[in-house]
């Protein structure tokens, strides 16, 4: 993959002019590369819905509930330098206590898992979170037990996954509760879409929209006692300033953390509908920094006069991961819009297969402030 280091100076200069409620920025072209499966073809509809750095720069991703059956309930490893899926994809099964819980029926099927994070103290432990379970019918006993989520009827569930050799076991499932005064509303398919650690146990979670249509960020403290209970865990509002918009939908669809020396660092949120990254200062002293992105898709062939890269109509960021000065991005192909990207016939098959693309942006400029 070719470097995009030239972006650093441009973005750093552009940041100086942004206010706390900035909603736009200098546009930056990002070259995006098709992710190839182990058979050499582009990935078949994985609906990649999260990204995390794992061992030796390897990336992990996970499929949501609308992906092809061959992709769901698996931990998928990626080599970002080769834009390649690594074999094998690790299947996820349920531990007995999770299987027998109120959430077992939903989690044993094709749950809508959104986002992925690696435990900063033990990279054998992976976390994910559920979103849309509106089509799942659970028992009246469970409905009564978990009434009052503060959001949807079937609550948002944070899950713990333990990697064991060539398998992964879901060993924990705990529902999250939102206080009534948070005004989250009942939006099953506009729930939690991003999770990331900032510190050893502080997990930040990003909500697509609340009842006022605004994105929100909350925190969960994963203490040693967290997974010993299956009762509701009340989330805390992170009270971070986000860009203000007069109209339209501006959800957060991915989240990652960028450490900065002598600082608490930044959260980076992906605004999928806007092709933007929002840089949020955890010190709460600096204004929100907004980076406008323009995605260019790699052509699978240069035959018939195809350009090396074509501008995309729709990318739909759904995964972010920071590693060594770079924020990696992966998309979750939006099925009703993805074929609008076809310009070069050589890429048509990739778009028809709902194959994702991988890219990155250098963020070393953050350490220069």
pLDDT tens across the length of the chain (369 residues): 333 333 333 333 333 333 334 434 445 799 999 999 999 999 999 999 999 999 999 999 999 999 999 999 999 999 999 999 998 899 999 999 999 999 999 999 999 999 999 999 999 999 999 999 999 999 999 999 999 999 999 999 999 999 998 899 999 999 999 999 999 999 999 999 999 999 778 999 999 999 999 999 999 999 889 999 999 999 999 999 999 998 999 999 999 999 998 899 999 999 999 999 999 999 999 999 999 999 999 999 877 778 999 999 999 999 999 999 999 999 999 999 999 999 988 999 999 999 999 999 998 766 654
Question: Quick one: which of 256, 234, 111 has its CA closest to 184?
Answer: 234
| Residue 154: count of CB within 10 angstroms of its CB | 23
CB 173 within 8 A of CB 157: yes
How far apart, in whole angstroms, are the C-alpha atoms of residue 100 and residue 122? 26
CB 224 within 8 A of CB 122: no
pLDDT recorded at residue 305: 75
Question: Quick one: which of 318, 330, 315 has its CA closest to 361?
Answer: 330
CB 171 within 8 A of CB 160: yes
pLDDT recorded at residue 367: 61
Would you list the domain boundaries of the chain? 43-284+317-333+356-368
- CATH class (in words) of the domain with range 43-284+317-333+356-368: mainly beta
DSSP, collapsed to helix, strand or coil, labels residue 214 as coil
pLDDT recorded at residue 172: 97
Q: Is the peptide bond before 88 cis (omega within 30 degrees of 0)?
A: yes
DSSP, collapsed to helix, strand or coil, labels residue 272 as helix
SS3 content of the chain, % helix, strand, coil (to 5): 15, 35, 50
Question: Quick one: which of 208, 200, 206, 231 has its CA closest to 219?
Answer: 206
Q: How many residues are present in the chain? A: 369
How far apart, in whole angstroms, are the C-alpha atoms of residue 95 and residue 80? 31
Report the first-to-last Cα separation within the chain, whole angstroms: 28
How far apart, in whole angstroms, are the C-alpha atoms of residue 64 and residue 67? 6
pLDDT recorded at residue 27: 57
Cα dihedral value 321, 326, 332, 333, nearest 10: -170
Model pTM above 0.85? yes
């Amino acid at each position: 993959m070719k470097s995009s280091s030239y972006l650093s100076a441009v973005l750093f200069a552009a940041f100086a002019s942004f206010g706390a409620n900035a909603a736009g920025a200098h546009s930056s072209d990002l070259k995006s590369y098709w992710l190839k499966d182990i058979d050499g073809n582009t990935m078949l509809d994985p609906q990649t819905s999260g990204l995390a750095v794992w061992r030796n720069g390897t990336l992990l991703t996970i499929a949501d509930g609308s992906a092809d059956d061959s992709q769901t309930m698996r931990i998928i490893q990626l080599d970002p330098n080769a834009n390649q899926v690594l074999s094998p994809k690790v299947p996820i099964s349920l531990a007995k206590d999770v299987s027998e819980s109120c959430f077992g029926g939903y989690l044993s099927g094709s749950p809508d898992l959104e986002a992925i994070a690696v435990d900063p103290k033990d990279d054998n432990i992976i976390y994910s979170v559920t979103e849309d379970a509106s089509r799942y019918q659970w028992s009246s006993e469970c409905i009564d037990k978990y009434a009052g989520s503060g959001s949807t009827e079937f609550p948002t569930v944070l899950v713990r996954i333990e990697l064991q050799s060539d398998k992964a076991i879901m060993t924990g499932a705990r529902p999250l509760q939102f206080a009534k005064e948070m005004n989250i509303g009942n939006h099953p398919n506009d729930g939690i879409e991003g999770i990331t650690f900032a510190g050893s146990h502080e997990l930040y979670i990003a909500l697509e929209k609340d009842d006022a249509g605004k994105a929100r960020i909350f925190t969960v403290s994963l203490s040693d006692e967290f997974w010993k209970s299956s009762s509701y865990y009340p989330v805390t509002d992170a009270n971070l300033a986000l860009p203000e918009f007069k109209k339209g939908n501006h959800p957060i669809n991915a989240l990652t953390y960028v450490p900065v020396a002598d600082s608490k660092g930044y959260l980076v949120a992906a605004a999928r509908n806007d092709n933007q990254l929002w840089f949020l200062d955890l010190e709460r002293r600096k204004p929100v920094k907004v980076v406008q992105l323009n995605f260019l898709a790699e052509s699978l062939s240069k035959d018939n006069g195809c350009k090396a890269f074509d501008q995309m109509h729709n990318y739909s960021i759904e995964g972010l991961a920071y590693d060594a000065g770079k924020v990696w991005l992966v998309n979750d192909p939006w099925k009703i819009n993805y074929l609008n990207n076809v310009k070069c016939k050589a890429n048509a098959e990739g778009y028809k297969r709902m194959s994702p693309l991988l890219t990155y942006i250098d963020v070393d400029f953050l350490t220069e402030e």
